[in-house]
């Protein structure tokens, strides 16, 4: 199933939004694998933080190359090799898995691909996020998120989307800046020691402004947005949980694919996971993906 490239109002278009979640994105990976196995290709793929590389491989129709949960087990190895320095682990992952994306995402026959990031827009925040104060600030923002307080983010950050097709609201994603954009999208303040910049401008993890770019895809005019979320329950726009992502936005319908349980229950947390937990999370994603694609295709045939 492949939707054709169209403008709003001509034919139905479909886009897939993949949420952040560090190791919990193994669930997202499982869903994407089932969609690819069913020959389901979207018109666009957008991703936040840890979901960027799996979503990029899905856009290429190459998600099987990640070999299921093995992709996530590699990151455990990368972290161990670098004494659990998250920055070095992610950079190693980009080094290993990034070349396929750089060489293929920008070809004409590939679906549109977008990456969400959080731009640091004030000098004060640049000093806080790019230096020794970053870890403490990250811990403070985690506490703020528990109180749904996004005042710091409102003052100092802006959500920036980079894409292979740019526009007034989408910045250009290119082979030259791809690695920097992927790293910037993952840079959690309390865990990543190495600062992130794109074209010499400071950025931090996408989740501070956009945990799942579903609304962003709806605003670009895609009629059906499939949001893959590695958490049960209500879906929020960012880590501060002050704005819910609704089931529709303007003329677009947002469909959610989520687990029924917290992945922490199967030993998959944000910054730690067991190999068996990763396998279980991936398989849960496969199960949910299979149920969704059966429903989605039956719905289309019935309409």
Q: Mind listing the pLDDT tens digit for each residue in 127-186?
A: 999 998 999 999 999 999 999 999 999 999 999 999 999 889 999 999 999 999 999 999
Q: Mind listing the pLDDT tens digit for each residue in 23-32?
A: 999 999 999 9
3-state helix vs strand vs coil in the chain, percent to 5: 45, 20, 35
Looking at 2-6, 85-89, 224-228, 247-251, which range is the least confident one?
2-6
Residue 5 has what pLDDT? Answer: 32
Average pLDDT over residues 244-262: 97
Q: Given pLDDT bands bounded at 50, 70 and 90, which one contains residue 1? A: very low
Q: Given pLDDT bands bounded at 50, 70 and 90, which one contains residue 297? A: confident
Q: Mind listing the pLDDT tens digit for each residue in 56-90?
A: 999 999 999 999 999 999 999 998 998 889 999 99
Span between the terminal Cα atoms of the chain, in Å: 16
Residue 97 has what pLDDT? Answer: 97
Residue 231 has what pLDDT? Answer: 96
Given a contact cutoff of 8 angstroms between Cβ atoms, the answer to whether 284 and 259 are in contact is: yes
Please tell me the distance from the alpha carbon of residue 70 to that of residue 76, in angstroms, as a whole number: 10
Helices 52-59 and 86-104: crossing angle in degrees, nearest 10, is 10
Please tell me the distance from the alpha carbon of residue 298 to that of residue 303, in angstroms, as a whole number: 9
Read off the pTM: 0.94
Question: What domains, with CATH codes, occur in the chain?
Answer: 14-302 (3.40.1090)
pLDDT at position 262 over 60:
yes
Given a contact cutoff of 8 angstroms between Cβ atoms, the answer to whether 185 and 212 are in contact is: no
Average pLDDT over residues 88-103: 96
């Amino acid at each position: 199933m492949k939707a054709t490239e169209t403008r709003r109002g001509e034919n139905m278009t479909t886009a897939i939004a993949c949420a952040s979640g560090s190791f919990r994105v193994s669930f997202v990976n499982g869903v994407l694998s089932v969609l690819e196995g069913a020959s389901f290709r979207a018109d666009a793929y957008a991703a936040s933080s840890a979901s960027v590389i799996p979503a990029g491989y899905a856009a290429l129709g190459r998600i099987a190359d990640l070999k299921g949960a093995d992709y996530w087990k590699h990151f455990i190895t990368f972290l161990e090799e670098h004494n659990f320095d998250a920055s070095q682990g992610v950079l190693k992952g980009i080094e290993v898995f990034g070349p396929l994306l750089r060489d293929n995402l920008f070809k004409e026959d590939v679906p549109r691909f977008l990456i969400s990031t959080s731009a640091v827009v004030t000098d004060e925040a640049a000093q806080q996020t790019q230096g020794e104060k970053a870890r403490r600030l990250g811990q403070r923002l985690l506490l703020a998120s528990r109180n749904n307080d996004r005042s710091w983010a409102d003052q100092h950050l802006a959500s920036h989307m980079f894409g292979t097709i740019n526009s007034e609201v989408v910045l250009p994603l290119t082979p030259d800046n791809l690695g920097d954009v992927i790293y910037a999208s993952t840079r959690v303040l309390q865990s990543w020691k190495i600062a992130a910049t794109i074209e010499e401008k400071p950025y931090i993890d996408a989740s501070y402004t956009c945990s799942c770019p579903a609304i962003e895809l709806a605003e670009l005019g895609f009629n059906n947005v499939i949001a893959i979320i590695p958490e049960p329950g209500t879906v929020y726009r960012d880590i501060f949980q002050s704005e819910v992502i609704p089931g529709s936005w303007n003329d677009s319908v947002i469909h959610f694919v989520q687990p029924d349980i917290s992945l922490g229950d199967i030993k998959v947390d944000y910054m730690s996971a067991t190999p068996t937990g990763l396998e279980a999370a991936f398989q849960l994603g496969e199960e949910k993906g299979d149920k969704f694609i059966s429903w989605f295709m039956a719905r289309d045939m019935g309409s």
